[in-house]
């Protein structure tokens, strides 16, 4: 998969930030992932829509191991169609939305949140718009 978007977040992530990704699911392949990475390179939060099983997966890869995967069967995405995925955070959880439908909520497994310093979107699908906003600042292009 190709890196479609990568942002480094000075000072790390904090409650109230938001990532919005818009694109087009060219096929039904499971070739799209969002990673929130810590300073050590661990994946503090991993989001993957699985078109083949119509599920949304949330997990973490820390200390060389994948954590317990959280699955949601709420899946308002379709192969061959445009998509919009939004990930936000509060003090306790990541929240994942697809087309404004909440599809997943996952507790933070990386503490403090400020140690999450990079966001990476990997995809073979066409990503048209991306924005990472934090406390009134934003990184990325707002091509939507």
CA angle at residue 74 from 66 to 1, to 5 degrees?
50
Distance in angstroms (rounded) separating the CA atoms of residues 21 and 5: 9
Q: Which pLDDT score, from 0 to 100, does residue 46 have?
A: 96
Distance in angstroms (rounded) separating the CA atoms of residues 72 and 84: 16
Q: Is the dihedral of CA 71, 63, 31, 142 positive or negative?
A: positive
Distance in angstroms (rounded) separating the CA atoms of residues 85 and 87: 7
Q: Which pLDDT score, from 0 to 100, does residue 141 have?
A: 47
Which residue has 């995809």 as its token pair?
A: 123
Q: Which pLDDT score, from 0 to 100, does residue 124 have?
A: 76
Q: 8 falls in which pLDDT band (50, 70, 90)?
A: confident
- Give buried/exposed letters for 49-79 (b at 16+ CB in 10 A, else e): bbbeebbbbbbbbbeeeebeebebeebebee
> pTM of this prediction?
0.86
Q: Which pLDDT score, from 0 to 100, does residue 134 have?
A: 63
Peptide bond into 112 cis (omega under 30): yes
Q: Which pLDDT score, from 0 to 100, does residue 27 have?
A: 67
- How are beta strands 116-123 and 2-8 bridged, if at all? antiparallel
Q: 142 falls in which pLDDT band (50, 70, 90)?
A: very low
Q: Which pLDDT score, from 0 to 100, does residue 44 have?
A: 96
Q: Which pLDDT score, from 0 to 100, does residue 136 have?
A: 46
Q: What is the per-residue pLDDT across 54-94, written as a single tens digit (0 to 9) for each?
A: 999 999 999 999 999 999 999 999 888 888 999 999 889 99
The whole-chain average pLDDT of the chain stands at 85
Q: Which CATH architecture has domain 2-131?
A: Sandwich (2.60)
Which residue has 């406390």 as its token pair?
A: 135
């Amino acid at each position: 998969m190709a890196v479609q978007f990568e942002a480094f977040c000075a000072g790390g992530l904090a409650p109230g930030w938001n990532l919005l990704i818009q694109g087009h699911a060219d096929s039904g392949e499971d070739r799209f992932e969002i990673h929130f990475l810590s300073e050590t390179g661990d994946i503090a939060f991993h989001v993957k829509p699985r078109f083949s099983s119509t599920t949304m997966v949330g997990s973490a890869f820390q200390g060389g191991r994948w954590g317990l995967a959280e699955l949601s069967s709420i899946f308002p995405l379709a192969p061959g169609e445009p998509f919009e995925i939004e990930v936000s955070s509060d003090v306790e959880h990541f929240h994942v939305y697809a087309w404004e439908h909440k599809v997943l909520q996952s507790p933070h497994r990386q503490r403090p949140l400020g140690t999450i310093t990079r966001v990476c979107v990997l995809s073979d699908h066409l990503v048209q718009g991306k924005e990472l906003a934090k406390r009134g600042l934003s990184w990325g292009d707002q091509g939507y």
